[in-house]
Structure 1
Amino acid sequence: MKILSTDELQQAERILQSHLPKSSKIYGLIFGVNRNKPHFLEFVVDSWPDFTTIICRPNPESEHSLDYTKKVSVFSTDEKILKRMLAEDNAIDWSTYFFVGGFDIRHATMLKEISSSKGVPVREFTLVHLMTLQDPSLLPELTVNSDAVTRISSLNESHIDLVNKTWKFGGDEKGYKNIKKLVSHFPTCCITDEKGQPVSWVLVYDYCALGLLYTLPEHRGKGYAKILISTIARRLHAQGYPVYCFIEEENELSYRLFKNLGFTEDPTYRAAWFEFNH
């Protein structure tokens, strides 16, 4: 195994770009790191530069990594090598709580077998669609003078508490810290009310996927989500970001929304989130 240096991450980004969309999560993380977004991560590969497997994990040398939920991401084109790295090479620390997000379910059986052999409890808690916008021209044109469009803005630190309280995975101190990092360093988009307070918003995760899309209940049914996604997707594309999202399989409303806005998925690919030592 090899831990990639700053210069090597630039090359890894180019290599992973050729494997999109299946490499989206690792690619998005490296995309952010290469543009000086704050992180507490390190990336390990099986070999260099011709790697088959890359794993993103918390950097044990970072004093701040404990402030956030321990997250691991993986991309591999060779399950045997991935299995060796996970089972024998200590590519991840199996002794503590962590979760693996956006994990290709083709490798799920192998992952569960390793977990079982190590006596580590595992829970698969969400299966997702990977939706990608290949052509931003498919996005609907917004009515420039419409009331909602004139109230498009960005989130700031005064809005973090509201976003954290409404996020299904938030509501605690770690959720607050995660959202603060996203609001401070990644693009956001919101629609405000007449007092300038956000009533609908969307953020970008540290792996550059769209997320935390939410509209306050009393403001739903007005097309705000469609406006926000179209606006931020155009901005991200113009800045060179990958434009994609993960949608939980049971969330049919969001799936139809993104599909109607021109997002597509690779029918051969599914991903899931797994939690260990929960």
Structure 2
Amino acid sequence: MKVLSVGELHSAEKRLKRLIPESLTVYGFLYGINRNKPSTLEVVVDAWPDFKVIICRPDSRKKGALDHRKRVTVYSTDAQILRRVLAEENAIDWSIRSFLGGFNTRHAPILKQVASARGIGVRWFTNAHLMYLPDCSLLPSSEVDSETESRISPLNISHVELVNKTWKFGGDENGYRTIENLISNFPSCCITDGQGRPVSWILVYDYCAMGMLHTLPEHRGKGYAKVLICSMAKKLQALGYPVYCFVEEENAVSHRLFTKLGFIEDPSYRATWFEFNF
């Protein structure tokens, strides 16, 4: 496996952009890394420049890379090469507990077979629709009133604890650090109440997908989620970010909302999340 240099990372990003939407998770990580966003990952490929497998994995040389949940992301255009890379090469450190996210479900049997051959347990978390917006002109006309619009702002560090309490994978110190990093380094958007306290919000993960969309129960039914998605999508496109998100298969409400707002998907593609060596 070859570790990509700074210049090669930029070249890989350009190639992955042509392979959107399936490449979006790895593309999103590279997009952030290439714009000097904090990262504990390194990027490796099976060959250069004509790679068929590209992997984002923890870089033990970087501070904090092995302090919390280790994340791995893989994109491949060739199942046979992917199998060889995972089985024969030092592509992934199978000895540590890791979380594999945004993985193409078509390749899930390969991962399970390779892990089983190594005697490593694999635990499935969820499957999700990958929904993306090619052009913000697809968004419906804004219906937000001026009073609500005046209460839209980015999140700040004082809001980390609130977001952490409501995040599905948060609630602990790792969640706090993750959210603190995202609010500090990536776009975010919230709607506040009369006292300036966030009542609805959306963040951007370090792989550039929108996420953590949440509205406090007592403020639901006011259309805040739609307002935030539209506002964030426009902001991301203006900044050059990809505009996409993952919606869990069982979340029919969110899937309908993003579809209504013009987000599209490849119906044959699903992303999946696994934990291995747990």
**TM-score class normalised by the smaller sequence:** over 0.9
- CA distance in structure 1 between the partners assigned to 2:101 and 2:204 by the alignment: 15
Question: 1:63 is matched with which residue?
Answer: 63
TM-score (norm 1): 0.98
Matches within 5 A, 1:200-215: 200-215=200-215
Pairing 1:119–2:123 present: no
- Secondary structure of the corresponding residue to residue 208 of structure 2: coil
Contact 2:70 2:98 in 1 (8 A): yes
**Corresponding residue for residue 188 of structure 1:** 188
Question: The residue matched to 2:194 in structure 1 has which SS?
Answer: coil
**Counterpart position of 1:105:** 105
Of the structure 1 ranges 264-273 and 221-230, higher mean CA displacement relative to structure 2 is found in: 264-273
Query: Do the aligned residues in 2 keep the contact of 1:56 with 1:74 (CA within 8 Å)?
Result: yes
Distance 1:194 1:74 in 2: 44
Deviations 1:190-233 (A, max 9, x none): 00000001000000000000000000000000000000000010
1:1-278 equivalence runs, <5 A: 1-143=1-143, 145-278=145-278
Q: Distance in 1 between matches of 2:260 and 2:69?
A: 33
Contact 1:190 1:201 in 2 (8 A): yes
Q: Is the 8 A contact 1:43 1:57 kept in 2?
A: yes
The percentage of counterpart residues that share the same residue type is 61
- Report the alpha carbon displacement of residue 62 of structure 1 after superposing the two structures with TM: 1.4
- For residue 76 of structure 2, what is the amino acid of its counterpart? S
Deviation, 1:275, is 0.8
Q: Which amino acid aligns with 1:23?
A: S
Deviation (angstroms), 1:147: 2.3
Deviations 1:49-91 (A, max 9, x none): 1111100001011131123311000000011111111111121
Alpha-carbon deviations, 1:141-167, whole Å to 9, x = none? 224643222210110000000000100
Q: Is the 8 A contact 2:144 2:227 kept in 1?
A: no
Query: Would you say the 8 A contact 2:182–2:206 is kept in 1?
Result: yes
Matched length: 278
Q: Is the 8 A contact 1:68 1:178 kept in 2?
A: no
Any gaps of 5 or more consecutive residues in structure 2?
none
- Scaled by the length of structure 2, the TM-score of the pair is 0.98
Q: Distance in 1 between matches of 2:111 and 2:96?
A: 16
Instruction: Tell me by how many angstroms 1:99 deviates.
Output: 1.1
Runs of 4+ in structure 1 over 2 Å off: 140-147
Distance 2:66 2:110 in 1: 28
Q: Residues of 2 paired with 1:220 and 1:148: CA distance? A: 14
CA RMSD of aligned residues (A): 0.9
2:199 corresponds to which letter in structure 1? V
CA contact (8 A) 1:67 1:174 kept: no
Preserved contact between residue 190 and residue 228 of structure 2 (Cα < 8 Å): yes
Whether the 8 Å contact between 1:68 and 1:177 is mirrored in structure 2 is no
SS of match in other structure, 2:66: helix
Instruction: Indicate the SS of the match to 1:13.
Output: helix
Counterpart secondary structure, 2:91: coil
Does structure 2 retain, via aligned residues, the 8 Å contact 1:142–1:149?
no
Q: Are 1:83 and 1:110, in contact at CA under 8 Å, matched by a contact in 2? A: yes
